[in-house]
């Protein structure tokens, strides 16, 4: 006979299957007038797969929310399945699952409902199928069988038993004073008992579904970001669901969940089951650092956003390419001198446009404005009397050359936006900027024009995420106050912090944190176990072969995961791989394959915002530093989830020599 937990697992799979069927049925009846095909016929509504993220059991039924039952699910959309309510993860009632009280108001009475929560269940999926679940018991008066089953008769559980397959049960929390723990409740798990850690779940500081989360973090990394709503923690949920009426700056060290928050927030802001007061009417523009980042999050944003065409995900280079209608990648550095990245350059461009228009210049184009800047003259007057700026403007290359150079893309994009604003982006309702520490003042000026120029309402807000310790250039802004100045935001805009690092193990994070000033080593590693970083010193002539061998070992160690080599000088590594029989899978030679295995070979810029099971960092001494900080190296070291290898022939940076 099957164990009760196995019965429950099958029961949950059946319920989820019925949920998917219901969503497909509902989708056929749900209009989707905002999406059109090339034939101008409205596109059929997209049906979500129908996935449960969680389940909530109350101490007693809630007449309004649960009817005669005392439980409900949290899923992708609202539906009623066999008399059980499934609420969307974007609905305010989801706070009962995510355990954050910022959704509580006197009108919705969610505070009372959340106080009645006895047990919350979180699910793990593999290939769209529930594989296990974990229960967090929040009250010691929780019923022994909190979740009614689908007509199954199961014998009462014995008082003690070993953990069952497919089910984990966490300790009860926030006990009712003076109440005794019933024997049936104690029989839920041999690990039952009070702990100070578990008490924090109701206070928003503890970890929900802790064992499930640890299991998922130790599992192989996929190539793209997947939904994490089952294990999304209270601090992350609060940031995802902030009102879009005010701007938010979210700071956190690597692996604290900034990209998770950015992607899930984009979907939250456009989901039609999000409360109207938190829904954005126009387009949500998500801006990241690289095209790899865009690919990394695009699928999950579209899925969680129900396929909405209100979300546009672009890297900063992709955004500028879209504005300029250019498909070729530019060449050269992002900036050579501070003038290249200064927002003053944008102000001079706007002045030139204004003077040309006042002078009645016909057919104004970006080429004409750019050439006005070169001459430091527009509409019959000089743009600036400053000697340094005059000299810089005169040094600008000819227009055709400027189009091909990376350093001038922000300026040309800003001119194009101001002269002939493209309509491709629709009306902007909110802008989310991830890896914001790498945005220059001139790029912020462009983003401000985009957010204001196509705004649904005056004073569009922002969600800005970043880590100033990961700055890769002296020509980016060194403080959030400087960002506030560029965007004309209230100087008292609240800076929120993500304090728990989920991605990298404690040994990896502690190793990388040596590069930071002590006062900035704030993140607490969630994953304690893992091999220490391996420092592999070799002769310079053996560097390439050592990297290949280390990468091969890591591929063997993580056959279902992902492995990357991050290096300032990728050509020697690529040459070594090619000699050993590896071939480039992509035109940009970032992905290499051999006998069905893959390894990514990336420069530091391309690795931003990404994560891998294991990483080989090559020659730390070659990584550029800025203002005494090692932002690019710090970013590279923290891309690893499970294992980090550092291969070097040159001396390590002083901060890492103590390891």
**Residue 226: what pLDDT?**
66
Whether residues 639 and 596 share a domain: the answer is yes
For residue 227, the model assigns a pLDDT of: 67
Could you give the percent of the chain with pLDDT greater than 90? 65
| 575 annotated as belonging to a binding site for a ligand | no
Virtual CA dihedral for 171, 173, 178, 180, nearest 10 degrees? -30
The predicted structure's pLDDT at residue 42: 47
Average pLDDT over residues 342-361: 97
pLDDT tens-digit series, residues 278-330:
999 889 999 999 998 998 898 888 888 877 889 999 999 999 999 999 989 99
Average pLDDT over residues 192-207: 46
Nearest to 88 by CA among 295, 246, 305: 305
- 99 in the same domain as 69: yes
Give me the pLDDT at residue 596, please: 92
Given a cut of 60, whether residue 153 has pLDDT beyond it is: no
Owner of token pair 């954005």: 280
Locate tokens 């932002």: which residue? 631
Q: 476 has which bridge partners?
A: 440
374 is in an annotated binding site: no
Residue 546's pLDDT band (cuts 50, 70, 90): very high
Tell me what pLDDT residue 571 has.
95
Question: Are residues 433 and 306 part of one domain?
Answer: yes
pLDDT in tens, 24-42: 998 887 665 444 333 444 4
Same domain, 194 and 264: no
pLDDT of residue 84: 94
Burial of 474 (0-12, 13-18, 19+ CB in 10 A): middle
pLDDT greater than 70 at residue 127: yes
The answer to the question of residue 22 being in a domain is yes
Tell me how far apart the alpha carbons of residues 186 and 481 are, in angstroms, rounded to a whole number.
52
Domain end call among 498, 528, 549? 498
Residue 258 labeled ligand binder: yes
- The mean pLDDT value for 365-374 works out to 97
Same domain? For 441 and 313 the reply is yes
Would you say 66 is a known binding-site residue?
no
Which one is predicted more confidently, 455 or 50? Answer: 50
CA atoms within 13 A on the CB side of 456: 19
Residues 203 and 266 placed together within one structural domain of the fold: no
Confidence of residue 519 (pLDDT cuts 50, 70, 90): confident
Q: How many domains does the chain have?
A: 3
Q: Is 604 annotated as a binding residue?
A: no
Q: What is the pLDDT of residue 120?
A: 95
Q: Does residue 456 fall inside a structural domain?
A: yes
Are 381 and 522 in the same domain?
A: no
201 and 246 part of one domain: no
Pick from 46-50, 180-184, 215-219, 428-432: least confident = 180-184
Rounded to an integer, the average pLDDT of 153-179 is: 40
Last residue of a domain, one of 162, 190, 218: 218
pLDDT value of residue 520: 83
Element (H, E) at 505: strand 500-505
Distances 487 to 163, 222, 484, 565 between C-alpha atoms, Å: 54, 36, 5, 36
Q: Is 38 annotated to bind ligand?
A: no
Identify whether 422 is part of a domain.
yes
More confident residue, 45 or 367: 367
Model pLDDT, residue 46: 61
Residue 164: predicted pLDDT: 35
Residues constituting the chain? 659
Let me know whether 294 and 203 are in one domain: no
Rounded CA separation 127/28 (Å): 24
Q: Measuring CA to CA, which residue among 176, 97, 168, 112 is closest to residue 142?
A: 176
Last residue of a domain, one of 218, 253, 287: 218
User: Rounded mean pLDDT of the chain?
Assistant: 86
pLDDT, residue 32, reads: 54
Domain presence at residue 606: yes
d(CA 388, CA 381): 18
* pLDDT of 183 over the 70 cut: no
Give the Cα separation of 573 and 459 in Å (integer): 48
What pLDDT is recorded for position 28? Answer: 82
Average confidence (pLDDT) over 640-655: 96
Residues 6+ apart with CB under 8 A from 387: none
pLDDT of 277 over the 70 cut: yes
Please check whether residue 231 lies inside any domain of the structure: no
Same domain, 512 and 492: no
Q: What pLDDT is attached to residue 159?
A: 42
- Radius of gyration, CA atoms only, the chain: 27
Domain of 257, CATH number, reads 3.40.50.300
Percent of the chain with pLDDT over 70: 84
Half-sphere exposure of 245 (CA within 13 A, CB side): 5
- Using one digit for the tens of pLDDT, what is the confidence trace for 470-516? 998 989 999 999 999 999 999 999 999 999 999 899 999 999 999 99
**Whole-number pLDDT of residue 149:** 80
Mark whether 457 and 390 lie in a shared domain.
Answer: yes
Does the pLDDT at position 198 exceed 50?
A: no
Please say if the pLDDT value at position 186 is more than 80. no
- Give the H or E element holding residue 211: helix 210-218
Which domain covers residue 395, as residue numbers? 236-498
User: Per the domain annotation, does 227 fall within a domain?
Assistant: no
Render pLDDT for 379-422 as a digit per residue (tens, 0 to 9).
999 999 999 999 999 999 999 999 999 999 999 999 999 999 88
Based on the fold, state whether residues 419 and 523 are members of the same structural domain: no
Residue 429 labelled as part of a binding site: no
Which pLDDT score, from 0 to 100, does residue 460 have?
Answer: 74
| CB atoms inside a 10 Å sphere around CB 68 | 7
**Has residue 77 got a pLDDT over 80?**
yes
CB-count burial class (<10 Å; 0-12, 13-18, 19+) for 30: middle
Tell me the pLDDT band of 458, cut-offs 50, 70 and 90: low
Give per-residue pLDDT as tens, 560-611: 999 999 999 999 999 999 999 999 987 778 999 999 999 999 999 999 888 9
Using the predicted structure, report yes or no on whether residue 156 has a pLDDT greater than 60: no
- Residue 45 has a pLDDT of 54
Q: With cut-offs at 50, 70 and 90, classify the pLDDT of residue 110.
A: confident
Residue 252 annotated as binding?
A: yes
Residue 224: inside a domain:
no
Tokens of 311: 């979300």
169 domain-assigned? yes
Q: Which residues contact 85 (CB under 8 A, 6 or more apart)?
A: 65, 66, 67, 69, 72, 73, 78
What's the predicted TM-score (pTM) here? 0.85
């Amino acid at each position: 006979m099957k164990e009760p937990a196995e019965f429950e697992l099958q029961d949950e799979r059946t319920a989820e299957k019925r949920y998917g069927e219901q969503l497909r049925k509902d989708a056929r009846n749900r209009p989707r007038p905002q999406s059109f095909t090339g034939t101008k016929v409205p596109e059929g509504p997209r049906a979500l797969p129908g996935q449960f993220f969680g389940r909530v059991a109350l101490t007693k039924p809630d007449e309004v929310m649960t009817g005669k039952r005392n439980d409900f699910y949290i899923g992708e959309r609202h539906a009623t399945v066999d008399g059980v309510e499934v609420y969307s993860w974007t609905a305010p009632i989801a706070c009962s699952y995510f355990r954050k009280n910022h959704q509580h108001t006197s009108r919705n009475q969610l505070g009372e409902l959340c106080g009645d929560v006895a047990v919350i269940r979180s699910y793990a999926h593999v290939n769209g199928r529930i594989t296990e679940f974990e229960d967090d018991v929040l009250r010691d008066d929780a019923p022994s069988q909190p979740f009614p089953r689908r007509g199954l008769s199961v014998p009462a559980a014995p008082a003690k038993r070993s953990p069952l397959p497919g089910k984990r049960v966490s300790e009860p929390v926030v006990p009712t004073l003076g109440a005794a723990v019933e024997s049936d409740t104690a029989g839920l798990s041999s690990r039952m008992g009070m702990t100070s850690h578990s008490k924090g779940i109701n206070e928003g500081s503890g970890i929900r579904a802790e064992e499930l989360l640890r299991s998922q973090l130790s599992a192989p990394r996929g190539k793209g970001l997947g939904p994490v709503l089952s294990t999304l923690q209270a601090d992350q949920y609060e940031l995802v669901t902030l009102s879009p009426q005010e701007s938010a700056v979210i700071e956190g060290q690597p692996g604290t969940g900034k990209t998770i928050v950015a992607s899930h927030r984009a979907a939250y802001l456009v989901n039609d089951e999000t409360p109207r007061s938190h829904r954005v009417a126009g387009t949500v523009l998500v801006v990241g650092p690289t095209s790899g980042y865009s690919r990394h999050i695009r699928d999950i944003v579209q899925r969680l956003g129900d396929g909405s065409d209100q979300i546009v995900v672009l890297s900063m280079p992709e955004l500028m390419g879209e504005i300029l209608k250019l498909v070729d990648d530019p060449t050269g550095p992002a900036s050579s001198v501070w003038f290249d990245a200064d927002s003053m350059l944008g102000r001079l461009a706007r002045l030139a446009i204004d003077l040309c228009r006042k002078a009645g210049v016909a057919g104004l184009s970006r080429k004409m404005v750019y050439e006005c800047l070169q001459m430091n003259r527009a509409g019959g007057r000089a743009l600036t009397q400053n000697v340094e700026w005059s000299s810089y403007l005169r040094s600008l290359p000819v227009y055709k050359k400027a189009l091909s150079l990376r350093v001038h893309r922000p300026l040309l994009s800003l001119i194009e936006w101001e002269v002939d604003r493209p309509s491709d982006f629709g009306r902007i309702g909110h802008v989310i900027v991830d890896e914001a520490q790498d945005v220059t003042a001139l790029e912020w000026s462009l983003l401000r024009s985009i957010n204001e120029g196509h705004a649904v309402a005056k004073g569009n807000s922002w969600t800005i995420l970043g880590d100033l310790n990961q700055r890769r250039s002296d020509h980016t802004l060194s403080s959030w106050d400087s960002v506030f100045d560029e965007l004309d935001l209230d100087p008292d805009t609240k800076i929120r912090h993500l304090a728990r690092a989920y991605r990298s193990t404690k040994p990896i994070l502690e190793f990388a944190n040596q590069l930071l000033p002590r006062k900035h080593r704030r993140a607490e590693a969630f994953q304690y176990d893992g091999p220490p970083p391996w420092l592999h010193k070799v002769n310079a002539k053996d560097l390439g072969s050592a990297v290949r061998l280390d990468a091969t070992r890591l591929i063997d160690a993580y056959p279902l995961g992902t492995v990357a080599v991050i290096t300032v000088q990728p050509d020697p590594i690529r040459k070594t791989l090619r000699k050993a029989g590896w071939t480039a899978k992509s035109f940009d030679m970032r992905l290499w394959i051999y006998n069905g295995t893959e390894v990514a070979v990336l420069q530091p810029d391309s690795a931003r915002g990404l994560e891998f099971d294991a990483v080989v960092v090559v020659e730390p001494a070659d990584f550029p530093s800025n203002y005494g900080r090692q932002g690019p190296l710090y970013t590279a070291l923290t891309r690893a989830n499970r294992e980090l290898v550092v291969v070097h022939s040159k001396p390590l940076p002083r901060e890492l020599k103590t390891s």
